[in-house]
Structure 1
Amino acid sequence: MSDAGEIRETATTVAPSPLYKVAVASYISLMALLAAWVLVLDPPPPAVRILLLVIFLLPLMLGLPGLLARRRYTMQWTGMLSLAYFVHGLIAATGLGLGRWLGSIEVLLALTYFGCSLLVLRYGKRAHQAAKAARDASESSTDTPADN
C-alpha cells in the first residue's frame, strides 16, 4: 500500500528522487556558470557577449520548465543536450588561464547532469514498468471468473 501523498513515476513524469534533485541542481548550476562566465568571470568582447549568452543559455532555458515539471521526455533531450556542453567544456579546458578552470567545471556539471538524468530515467522506467505489471496482474486476477 502506498502513502496518499507519495508522488510516483508515470509514463510521462519522473519521481522527485534525490538523484533527480542532483540532476536539477547541476543543470541550474551549469546555467549559472555559463552566465557568469560570459558576463563576469571571463567576458568576451562586448560585441559578441549577447550572442554568446543566447547561444549558451537559450537551449538550457528552453528545457528548464519541462525539467522542473519532471517531464521524462525533457530529461531525455536535455541529457543529450548536456553532451554539447561537455564538449564545449573539454575544448575550453584545453585553453589557457581562467577558461581552463571554467571549462573543467562545465565538464563536471554536464557529466553530473547527464549521469543523474540517465539514472533517473532508467530507474524510473523500471519502477513504472513494475507498477504497471502489478496493476495489470491485479486487474486480470479480478476479471477472471472462479472455476467452481
Structure 2
Amino acid sequence: MSAAIARYRWLALVSYFALFICVVIWQFGTAYSEQSALFRGLFYVLPLLFPMYGIARGKPYTHAWANFILMWYFLHSLTMLYIAPEQRLWAVTELVLTTLAFAGCTLYARHQGRALGLGLKKLKDEKN
C-alpha cells in the first residue's frame, strides 16, 4: 500500500470512528432528544455499525458503499443546523466528520481498488 493510500485509509478510519463516537454521545449523552432510546439507537447508531467491520479491515468495496450511509448523517447534520440552534455545535461536528469520512472512504476505495485491480469494466472492453 502506497503512502497516499495509507493516508486515505487513516482519514477514513479516524473520521468514521469519530463520527460513530460523536453520534453515540450526541444521542445518548445529551438531554436534547424527545425520542425513545430504542428509536435513537435504531435510526442513528445502527446504520453506522453495518460497514464498520469492512472499514476496519480495509475493504475498498465497503468503503465505497459506506458513503451511502454517510449521506444520511450529512443530511441529518444540515437539517439540525437549520432547525435546532441549541444543537448547532453537535450538528457542525457531525457535518465535518461526515465530510471527512466521505472524502476518506471515496479516495481510499478509488485508489486501493485500482491498486488491487478491482473496478467496473467499460462496456467497450466487455464487447472485445
TM-score (norm 1): 0.70
Question: Unaligned 5+ residue runs, structure 2?
Answer: 118-128
Equivalence for 1:39:
28
Question: Unaligned 5+ residue runs, structure 1?
Answer: 1-7, 10-14, 130-148
1:66 aligns with 2:57: no
| Paired letter, 2:109 | L
Q: Number of matched residues?
A: 116
8 Å CA contact retained: 1:93, 1:100? yes
8 Å CA contact retained: 1:24, 1:113? yes
Percent identity of equivalent pairs: 22
Equivalence for 1:90:
78
CA shift for structure 1 position 34: 0.9
8 Å CA contact retained: 1:20, 1:117? yes
TM-score (norm 2): 0.79
CA shift for structure 1 position 49: 2.2
8 Å CA contact retained: 1:92, 1:99? yes
Larger-gyration structure (1/2):
1
The structure whose residues are more often helix, as a share, is: 2
8 Å CA contact retained: 2:12, 2:100? yes
1:29 aligns with 2:21: no
Q: Which runs of 4+ in 1 moved over 2 A?
A: 95-98, 125-129
Equivalence for 1:18:
7
When the two chains are superposed, the root-mean-square deviation of aligned CA atoms in Å is 2.1
CA shift for structure 1 position 42: 4.1
With CA pairs under 8 Å and 6+ residues apart, which has the higher RCO, 1 or 2?
2
